């Protein structure tokens, strides 16, 4: 991964309701900018919000909120409107809404088998979405050209007075060779720079691991928005994790933590694409499910069929789901002893495996981890759909704007909109 940019964005969106606090010695100007960011972040996460609610949620006084909202409106980042249904007598509180149609980020995803590009508006709304197949053997760096084509294609449909605030690329660590063999992607430090070069002098791209970014999305807008310690497990052709501790992504050296698919759980097991043997993903990955069900392990489309057959009571499919679910619980049991999260969230193809085999997974979790690790633990399917990673990538790209709206917003007014 090139420049994992998550030291800043990790935890964006958590507890925006708390009363604002400024560092001792912060100037009036710094405080004003922080407060502008807080108001913009609130409506970005919660959608249209009245000035009155912003006042109570952010712990600022009414006139301050009024001035901040007016300033954000003047910079084109939000709109303020009289609510259509004013419930009380007297002058209604204006409703502040993010300008999703005008302010957006380019969110890209290099998945195992496809390349996706979306324009995501402020507020987290997907405005446009394109995808193409990622051919077997295509490296992440070779994906830059096709992704740039998708972005340019989208940009052609963009109105002239829009503001592009930045871009982010999520990259899976597991790819498929042209012969169908699963392979662990080598680190490609130049991906971010290559994207930046394609779109110079645009606002630039940050890059990150796909599971980290999808986990961040669940933490900001999904099923784990209320907790600060979680493990997000992502299944595609491999298994990877986004681990968030105390509201921040665990990064590791150069951002390569979370490779939980390569925990060895079965030393006598099958060889893994990483060169080791008996890795967790050889027991819980899509290929394992297909193998147990007697299907071609390379036929990803058959995963849905096996899960559907299991739901219909097909004994072999059910047995395959139970075997995989048992290994899934086994690995999660170990992980929760290490991380002690409040929630484990299952995403990608693991979402469906978890739903199909939840009782088996829970049986493991009821006994394996220490009581202090399991008593409070929630196991949950991801709430966001397959676009979670695009939503999460957009959050990375929006982070700079939300930290200092005036800076980015005003730059956009001066003509930095558009990238291609
Ligand atoms: Zn492995």
DSSP for 149-196 reads HHHHHHHTTS-TT-EEEEEEEEE-SEEE-TTS-EEEPPP-TTHHHHHH
Spacing, Cα 407 to ligand 1 middle (Å): 44
pLDDT of the residue at 297: 85
Spacing, Cα 174 to ligand 1 middle (Å): 10
Residue 164 forms beta bridges with which residues?
Answer: 104
Spacing, Cα 186 to ligand 1 middle (Å): 13
Question: Of 78, 12, 94, which is closest to residue 40 (Cα–Cα)?
Answer: 78
Percent pLDDT > 70 in the chain is 86
Spacing, Cα 271 to ligand 1 middle (Å): 8
Q: Mean of the pLDDT values across residues 303-308? A: 93
Q: Who has greater pLDDT, 398 or 85?
A: 398
Spacing, Cα 374 to ligand 1 middle (Å): 27
Spacing, Cα 272 to ligand 1 middle (Å): 5
Spacing, Cα 275 to ligand 1 middle (Å): 6
Spacing, Cα 320 to ligand 1 middle (Å): 21
Spacing, Cα 261 to ligand 1 middle (Å): 6
pLDDT of the residue at 176: 65
Spacing, Cα 23 to ligand 1 middle (Å): 45
Q: Who has greater pLDDT, 228 or 113?
A: 228
Spacing, Cα 211 to ligand 1 middle (Å): 16
Instruction: Write the Ramachandran bin of 178: left for phi over 0, alpha for psi from -120 to 50, otherwise beta.
Output: alpha
Spacing, Cα 355 to ligand 1 middle (Å): 25
159 confidence band (pLDDT: 50, 70, 90): confident
pLDDT at position 123 over 50: yes
Asked which of 156-165, 176-185, 312-321, 402-411 is least confident by mean pLDDT, the reply is: 176-185
Spacing, Cα 259 to ligand 1 middle (Å): 9
pLDDT at position 118 over 50: yes
Convert the pLDDT of each residue in 322-354 to its tens digit: 999 999 999 999 999 999 999 999 999 999 999
Spacing, Cα 247 to ligand 1 middle (Å): 28
Q: Mean of the pLDDT values across residues 142-163? A: 92
pLDDT at position 187 over 60: no
> CA-to-CA distance for 419 and 403, rounded, in angstroms?
21
pLDDT of the residue at 181: 64
Asked which of 164-178, 235-249, 323-337 is least confident by mean pLDDT, the reply is: 164-178
Question: Of 2, 194, 235, which is closest to residue 112 (Cα–Cα)?
Answer: 235
Convert the pLDDT of each residue in 1-59 to its tens digit: 333 333 333 333 344 334 455 566 778 888 999 999 999 999 999 999 999 999 999 99
Report whether 199 contacts 419 (CB < 8 A): yes
Report whether 37 contacts 405 (CB < 8 A): yes
pLDDT of the residue at 172: 87
């Amino acid at each position: 991964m090139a420049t994992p940019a998550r030291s800043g964005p990790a935890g964006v969106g958590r507890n925006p309701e708390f009363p604002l606090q400024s560092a001792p010695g912060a100037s009036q100007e710094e405080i004003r900018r922080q407060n502008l960011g807080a108001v913009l972040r609130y409506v970005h996460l919660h959608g249209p919000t009245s000035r009155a609610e912003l006042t109570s949620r952010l712990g600022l006084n009414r006139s301050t909120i009024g001035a901040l909202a007016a300033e954000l409106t003047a910079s084109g980042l939000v709109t303020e409107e009289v609510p259509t249904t004013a419930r009380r007598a007297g002058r209604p509180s204006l409703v502040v809404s993010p300008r999703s149609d005008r302010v957006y980020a380019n969110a890209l995803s290099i998945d195992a088998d496809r390349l996706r590009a979306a324009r995501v508006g402020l507020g987290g709304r997907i405005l446009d979405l394109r995808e193409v197949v990622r051919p077997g053997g295509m490296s992440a760096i070779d994906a830059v050209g096709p992704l740039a084509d998708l972005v340019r294609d989208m940009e052609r449909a963009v109105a002239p007075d829009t503001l592009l605030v930045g871009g982010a690329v999520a990259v899976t660590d597991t790819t498929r060779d042209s012969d169908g063999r699963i392979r662990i992607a080598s680190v490609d430090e130049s991906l971010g720079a290559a994207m930046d070069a394609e779109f110079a002098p645009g606002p630039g791209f940050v890059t990150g691991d796909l599971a980290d970014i999808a986990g961040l999305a669940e933490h900001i807008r999904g099923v784990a928005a209320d907790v600060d310690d979680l493990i997000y497990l992502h299944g595609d052709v491999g298994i990877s994790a986004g681990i968030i501790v105390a509201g921040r992504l665990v990064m590791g050296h150069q951002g390569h933590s979370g490779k939980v698919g390569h925990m060895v759980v079965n030393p006598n097991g099958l060889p893994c694409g990483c060169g080791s043997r008996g890795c967790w993903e050889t027991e819980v990955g899509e290929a394992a499910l297909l193998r147990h069900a007697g299907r071609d392990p390379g036929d990803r489309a058959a995963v849905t069929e096996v899960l559907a057959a299991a739901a219909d009571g097909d004994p072999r499919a059910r047995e395959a789901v139970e075997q995989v679910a048992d290994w899934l619980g086994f690995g999660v049991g170990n992980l929760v002893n290490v991380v002690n999260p409040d929630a484990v969230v299952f995403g990608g193809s693991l979402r469906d495996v978890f739903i199909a085999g939840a009782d088996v997974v829970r049986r493991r979790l009821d006994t394996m981890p220490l009581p202090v690790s399991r008593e409070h633990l929630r196991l949950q399917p991801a709430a966001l759909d397959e676009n979670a990673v695009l939503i999460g990538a957009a959050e990375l790209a929006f982070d700079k704007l939300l930290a200092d709206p005036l800076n980015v917003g005003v730059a956009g007014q001066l003509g930095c909109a558009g990238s291609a």
